[in-house]
Structures are given as C-alpha cells and as structure tokens.
Chains A and B, each alone.
Chain A
Amino acid sequence: MLIPVLTGVSIIVFTLIRLIPGDVTYVILGTDPRRDQVEALRRELALDRPLHEQYLAWVSHVATGDLGQSLVYGKKPVLQAIGEALPVTVELATVSTLLAIMVGLPIAILSAVRPDSVWDFAARLVAILGLSIPNFWLATLLFLAAALWFGWVPAVQAFAYIDDNPIQNLQQIILPAIAASASFAAVVMRMTRSTLLEVLRQDYVRTAWAKGLGGRSVVLRHALRNAMIPVVTLLGLHLGSVLGGAVIVESIFALPGMGRLLLSSITARDYPTVQGVVLFLSLLYVVINLIVDVSYAWLDPRIRYS
C-alpha cells in the first residue's frame, strides 16, 4: 500500500501547488520584474518545461533519495530542511502526546469508575472545554499569562535542541506542548471514559470482581487494556496531525518545525520543499499507522495478523 499511497500523494501535491496563481519568480525577483527576467529565471529553474517532464524529473530524483533543493532559501537541500525541522516537531508531538495521556487517562479512569459523581461531572466539563477552546487562543493565552502574570516567558531566541541545552529546550517546549495537548487530552478523556464504562460492564470484569481482585488490578490490568484500542487509533491520528499541522502553535511560539516549514514554503511557492515535505509526512503517517495497527495485537492478544 505504501507505494500507491506515495505515488498518489506525489501527483496530488505536485499538481495542487502549481495550481496556486503566482510562482516563485515573484518571490525571488520581487514584484517589479521585467518579462524577460521572469522568463530567464523560469528557464534557469526548469519551470518552463512541460509539467509531466518536471514531475518525472522530480520523481526520478526522489527514487534515489534526493528530494531536491529549495528554490528560494539558497538552494538548501530539502532533506536538510526536513532534518532541521523534524526534531522540533517530533519533540512537540511527543511531549504534547505524553502530556495529553498523563492528564487525560487518569481523569478518564476516575470519571469512569465514578460515573455521575462530582468528579465525573468536572472531568466531562474539562473535556468539553478542551475540545471547544481553539488551540491558537489557548497558545496566546498561555504566552500572555506566563509573561504578564508570572513574569516568565520562554526565551525569544533560536530553538535549543534537547542535546544542546536541555533546560532551555524544556522552557521553550513546555508551553507549546500544553497548547497542542489540550484538545487531544480532552479526546483521550472522553474516549477512554466511554470505552472503559463499556468494558467495566463486561462479564469478565464482573468475574474479576467476584474473584476478589482489588479495584486497581481490575481496572488497570484487566479493563483498561481493552479500552485502549480506540485511544491508540486516535493516538496515531493525533501524532500524524501534530507532525504535519501544528502550524499555529509553532508560529505563536516561533518553533522552527515542520508546520512552519510547510507554510513558509507554500507562501513562497517553493515547489521542491512543499513536495518533499508533504511526501515525507505521508510516509511518516503510513509508518505511524502501521505501528498503531501492530500495537492492537499487543493490546489485545485475540487480534492476530496473518
């Protein structure tokens, strides 16, 4: 399935980016170019060739692992640009996902084992808020609250990678991770609560109670594992979405991640970078979904793949 998916994605992204009016010559030459300058630059960048030739040339390079060079940013290799942006987004995705699970799961469990209690009510209210509040609003509010109420903001400077400066890295990632995790935490809460409530009514759980097992053992060891399957599915979708689309959070907190790279490339009509990044993200998405599918077998031994 990987090859057909990537082929389809490559054709779609190649075509779509070229449908947007205006091309990269406006970005490089500005808005005052002579017609002959534009034509000469288009020849230099091979943009004057027929579309199918451009596509085949690009695909033949991709097959050898070369995603091309940026048309705009000093001919920077696309793979290098991805290599610089990906760790930032992966870290954002990982931390935000961990936060979402660390917050969402315990609250969901508490809510499920105490249905219709004050805790359940509060948890459901928090979940609704998490789903309703736009992440760009939350990101701005977090930034403002930290700055004005607590006198602290993450340093407005180049992103520090975790191996360079772990303390500054943590300072710079924590607020964006909270902003990016809020809605997923809410989804985890609701989904886990809902499935856990169903699982807790199953016969085998009743048997476990009847055997005299403690509450923790019944819920965490026996019930929760079966309730996690839909959550793992959502986890895969969430990771894919954060890896490719945390543009707003990255913009507000100036994180040089994949979302910002993609947005700036689209704005600049930097065709190779857009094509390369989208293709890479598609590959990543397929891999994540494969991992999610395999994890079902681990969670539920009844599921086996042939």
Chain B
Amino acid sequence: MLSTDPRERRNLSRRDLLRAGAFAGIGAFIAACNPNRGTTTPSGPSGGAAPAATPASGGPKVGGTFVFAETIKIISLDPHRAQQAVERAILGEVYNGLLRYKAPPAAAPNAVIEGDLADRWKQVDDRTYEFNIVSGVKFHNVPPANGRELTADDAKFSIERVSSDKPAFPFRALFPVDTATAVDKLTLRVRLKEPFAPFLGFCAFPYFNVIPPELAKENNDDIVKVAVGTGPFVLKKFDPNVEAILERHPEYFRKGMPYLDGIRMTVLPDKTAAFNAFRAKQLDITPILVPSLITAEQAELLKKEMPEVTVHLVQGLPWQSIRFNAAKKPFDDKRVRQAFSLLTNRDELIAKYTSGKATLIGPLPSSMSAWALPDSTLKAHPLYKRDVAKAKQLFADAGVTLPWKVRYLTTISHKDLVALIAQQWSEAGIELDTTVTPDTGVFYSFAEKGDFDILSFGHSGFQDPDDYFSTYIASDGARNYGKYSNKEVDDLIVKQRQALDESARKKIVTDLQMKLLDESYFLYLVSTPMHVAAHPYVKNFWVNPIIFGATRYWESLWMDK
C-alpha cells in the first residue's frame, strides 16, 4: 500500500527497473495482438479509370442520408457569384440550370450537352438562342418560392443576373447577354452581344442556375446564406464553418428521383481527419474536391486495408503549369521560354510529383478529350523532349548568361513541384529565388503586380476551351499576369470564340494549341489526378473531372444499405 509519508522513501533499484520494463513489454505485446488492427491483404478493386456508374440489378434503393466531408468552408450560396468548388457542391443539389452535361455511362463526362430545365433548345441565328422549359417544374416548398411553378420569367431573371455588370458578379464574360425575353410562359429567348460559340457550354456549366426572383428581391440581392431552387434536394440547414444538410425535394420534376432521403456535407478542416473518418465508416466517400482529395499513397493504403472499397482515379480538370513574366526581359524572348521547356522533365514530374498517376497536358487539360491535343502529339513535340544542351544554346542565342538566378513565385501547395523543377533546371545553371506564399490571396496580390519572373500555380478551368485562352492568354485576359501579347494568338482566340460550327472551331483550337506550345508563354506540365474512394454500398457514383459540378448528378446516387 502506498504511503504518503515521505519518511518511507524507496530508491529505484535494478529489480524495480527490470520489473517496470517487463510490464511495459507485456503491455506493448497485448496492444500488438489487438484483433481490430487492420491487416494487409493483397489486391482488391483497383483504381484506373472511373468505373461506369450502373445500378445494381433490382434497381436503386430509396432512402438513407449520404454523408461526405470537405476541408474548405463555404463562403457564399449565391449561385451567380459563388466561385469555390465546395459551394458548388451544395448548389449543384439545390438548383438546376437550363442545360447540363450527360452523365456516364450515357456519354463521356462533360462531353455531350443534354437538357436540364430546358427539354428543347435551338439556335435561331448566330446570336440568338431559344430554350423551351419543362412544364410542371416546382420550386422547393420553402419561402419565398413556396413550391410555385417555374416559368420562363425565372430563367430570364437568372440569366440577366448572372450576366450582370454589377461589381460583385464575376461571370459576365461567360454570358455576354444582350437581351433575354420570356416569349411565353415556358419559352426563353436570349440574344447575345456577339456570336459566342461557348455559350451553350457555359449554360450547361454549373455556374448558371435558375433562381426565383423573389429570393433575390426579398434578400436585397444578397443570397449568400439562403438557397431555394428546383433541384433534387432542399437546403435544410447551413452553417458555413460546420455543415450543410439537404433533404429530398418531394416534388422534384424528375419523377422517382432523388433516391436518397438527404445529403449531409460536413466541413472537416483537417484532411487526415477526413481520411480517417472514411476509414471509420463515418463518411460514405472521401473528399471529392481539390485540395481535400486523398493522396495516391492514401489510395494505395485503402486498397490494401479495405479491398471492398472502390477507389476511383480520374484526371481532373485542374491543371499545373508554369508561366513567364513576358513583360520583363528576357522572358519576352520566345527562345528563353522554349529553353525552360527543354529543361523540364515532365515524365519525372509525373513519376515523382504525382506518383505516376497524372498525365501530360498541353494548352488544354487531357480530360477535355474532345478538344485537347492527344497524348501522342504532346510526347512527339520537340519542346516536350528534355534537351539540356539545346536549352543552353537557346539561352546563349537569346543573350542570357548562365548561371542565372530567377525569381519564382508559387504557393505552399506547390512547393514540392517547385523543388523538383528547381532540381531539373539547376543542370543548366538556373537557380530559383523562390517566394512561397501561404495562400492564394497573397499569391494573386504579387502576381497582379507583376512581381515575379516565373510563377506556377494550379488552375481549375471550365470545360470549354475559351476559358483557357481568353482568361489566361489573350492580351486583355483577366489572368494574363505575365502580360503576354501576340496578335496572331489574339486573333485565333477571337476566331475560335466566334466559330459556331463545331468542326471548324476544333480546327482553330488545334492550330491555336500548337501555336501556344511553340510560344511557350505557359509551360504546360501535368494534370491533377483525383483519387476518390467510396464504400461498396454507394451506387451510381462517379467522379466528375469538373470539380465545380462534382455533385450535380447525385439525384441518381443511391445506397445499398
């Protein structure tokens, strides 16, 4: 019996030490024998391409609440202003647009447009489109729409709002609307300011949603905290730092859907916690959005530890690139930019930065299979084949003396990529003076000022080629931070935007991509592999390479449990 009397002291003897060590060893042995510990088992469902989303025999089961988590908090629920993919994850369930893309297996992801709220549409002339809206679509039965029927006036209001020139609305470039008219109760006519080939694609993109006008009017046009639409789920509860809870819309216009009773999205700031919550079966899938995705190593761990789980691997639309400050000498010289391309070993980046899971990209991400240059073309391109001697020659021809220290700007999420690139470029005597910014706000404040020689960043674009060219490359592009300007390129960008014939447009886009490879204002590096795991009871789940449309098709998601 222990005594508190300090007079009864005992010094530590060797026997005591050995006894303590024996107890500790026995305890460790018992812990190691814990039958609940995961065991490594070989094989299991492999990753590879996303499996076709087919329902099991017997049809979908109705019921259940689908639970997932993301690590990013939600800032705005305004469908015409929200720009984060995590916000789109909620909005994609609450709202519909006029059009959307067909889901697999009916078509490759984001390749074929189908109707959403519009069941028919036509192009009246080179600037005018007409949409026929499905009859009997009901808004959610919550104020202020209170379950009323959708009309063309709602679509008119919405397209005017999304193309608004007001300061807080960022998407007017995607929707160059001149006028919108409700021809009758269910017909909307839209006239654009100019021929604009990407228009239908942007209508199908998750950024355009139809809202009831009274929602905006009763909230003073500030709808960051409320959402009332026609979508398969009704927003029941929303706390931006915590969670969003959605419940089935009982009068959804696609009869029989949605199959789920509800969806719950939790904000888990820590990626590891989200991963472990999936392993503990607290979540039905791992996070679906960049930067919350699980890594390649975590995907491998799941395949070993939980072979019944399906691990999807999809090449996402987000892409990694480098660009130069073409407003500064000598980066205005194409030879200098080409030299950097020749120094870059893209195969090594794929192997080491993405554990071999990414693909090469050109001016358009590889997941845009209808438009992007094929992998064979990229691999055969002379600037994609590493040649240090030729790079040094180009530097010399451009008057650059090696060794050379350049100022490199990037964000903390890319520091591993930059470390690899620095190693590759050092062979030619290029040294990087790197500024790593802690977040995108700081990054863009430097980038906007042109305070860099070279910068690298990941981008999440749209599924239409125009965004990649008009925004990043065109002389007046909002994100042309390197102030690159080339008249031939600008002309091609305008030409593809106005080419309403798709095959003609594809030819122009191909020519433009080859020109951009030669110009090397951007060094296009690798795609972003998206690893997402789902428990076996999750059915009809596929990973959308467009992260902004990640949840848009979950009306057909169901759970077999």
- Chains A and B bind each other: yes
Which of A41, A150, A267 interacts with B168 by CB under 8 Å?
A41
Which of B75, B167, B268 interacts with A156 by CB under 8 Å?
B268
- In Å, the complex CA distance between A253 and B10 comes to 43
Residue in A closest to B272 when the chains form the complex, CB atoms:
A140
Which residues of A lie under 8 Å from residue B56 when comparing CB positions?
none
Flag the segment in B181-189, B208-216, B279-287 that touches A. B279-287
Which of A21, A119, A143, A209 interacts with B446 by CB under 8 Å?
A21
Which of A26, A34, A215 interacts with B5 by CB under 8 Å?
A215
Flag the segment in B251-259, B371-379, B437-445 that touches A. B437-445
Which residues of B lie under 8 Å from residue A216 when comparing CB positions?
4
Contact of A164 with B by CB under 8 A: no
How many chain A residues have a CB neighbour from B under 8 Å? 67
Which residues of A lie under 8 Å from residue B273 when comparing CB positions?
140, 143, 251-254
- In Å, the complex CA distance between A147 and B267 comes to 19
Residue in A closest to B449 when the chains form the complex, CB atoms:
A21
Contact of A37 with B by CB under 8 A: yes
Contact of A151 with B by CB under 8 A: yes
Interface 1/0 per residue, A106-124 and B, CB below 8 Å: 0001100111111111100
Contact of A1 with B by CB under 8 A: no
B438 to chain A, nearest CB (A): 9
Flag the segment in B33-41, B311-319, B328-336, B422-430 that touches A. B33-41
A210 to chain B, nearest CB (A): 12
Interface 1/0 per residue, B254-296 and A, CB below 8 Å: 0000000000101111101100110110110000000000000
Q: Are A73 and B240 in contact (CB under 8 A)?
A: yes
Contact of A57 with B by CB under 8 A: no
Contact of B241 with A by CB under 8 A: yes
Which residues of A lie under 8 Å from residue B9 when comparing CB positions?
114-117
How many chain B residues have a CB neighbour from A under 8 Å? 63
User: Known contacts A216-B4, A219-B4, A269-B441; is A32 also within 8 Å of B277 by CB?
Assistant: no
Interface 1/0 per residue, A17-48 and B, CB below 8 Å: 00011110011111111101110110010000
Which residues of A lie under 8 Å from residue B16 when comparing CB positions?
117-118
Q: Are B10 and A29 in contact (CB under 8 A)?
A: no
Which residues of B lie under 8 Å from residue A267 when comparing CB positions?
439, 441
Residue in A closest to B266 when the chains form the complex, CB atoms:
A156
Contact of A268 with B by CB under 8 A: yes
Contact of A153 with B by CB under 8 A: yes
Q: Are B6 and A34 in contact (CB under 8 A)?
A: no
Which of B17, B276, B441 interacts with A144 by CB under 8 Å?
B276
Q: Are A22 and B272 in contact (CB under 8 A)?
A: no
- In Å, the complex CA distance between A256 and B75 comes to 15
Contact of A155 with B by CB under 8 A: yes
User: Known contacts A159-B242, A260-B241; is A21 also within 8 Å of B170 by CB?
Assistant: no
Which residues of B lie under 8 Å from residue A30 when comparing CB positions?
83, 170
Contact of B225 with A by CB under 8 A: yes
Contact of B11 with A by CB under 8 A: yes
Contact of B478 with A by CB under 8 A: yes
Q: Are A22 and B478 in contact (CB under 8 A)?
A: no
B84 to chain A, nearest CB (A): 8
Which residues of A lie under 8 Å from residue B106 when comparing CB positions?
none
Contact of B222 with A by CB under 8 A: yes
- In Å, the complex CA distance between A29 and B273 comes to 30
- In Å, the complex CA distance between A22 and B67 comes to 34
Contact of A16 with B by CB under 8 A: no
A20 to chain B, nearest CB (A): 7
Which of A33, A148, A254 interacts with B170 by CB under 8 Å?
A33
Contact of A264 with B by CB under 8 A: yes
Q: Are A155 and B441 in contact (CB under 8 A)?
A: no
A171 to chain B, nearest CB (A): 12
Q: Are B240 and A33 in contact (CB under 8 A)?
A: no
- In Å, the complex CA distance between A72 and B224 comes to 9
Which residues of B lie under 8 Å from residue A40 when comparing CB positions?
167
- In Å, the complex CA distance between A264 and B3 comes to 52
Residue in B closest to A116 when the chains form the complex, CB atoms:
B11
Q: Are A254 and B36 in contact (CB under 8 A)?
A: no
Q: Which 3 A-B pairs have the closest CB atoms?
A: A22-B441, A147-B280, A40-B167
> Would you list 7 pairs from A and B whose C-beta atoms are within 8 A, ordered by A residue?
A41-B167, A74-B225, A115-B9, A117-B9, A144-B276, A157-B264, A218-B4
Contacts beyond the supplied A219-B4, A252-B272: 6 A-B pairs with Cβ under 8 Å: A30-B83, A117-B11, A151-B36, A156-B277, A215-B4, A253-B273
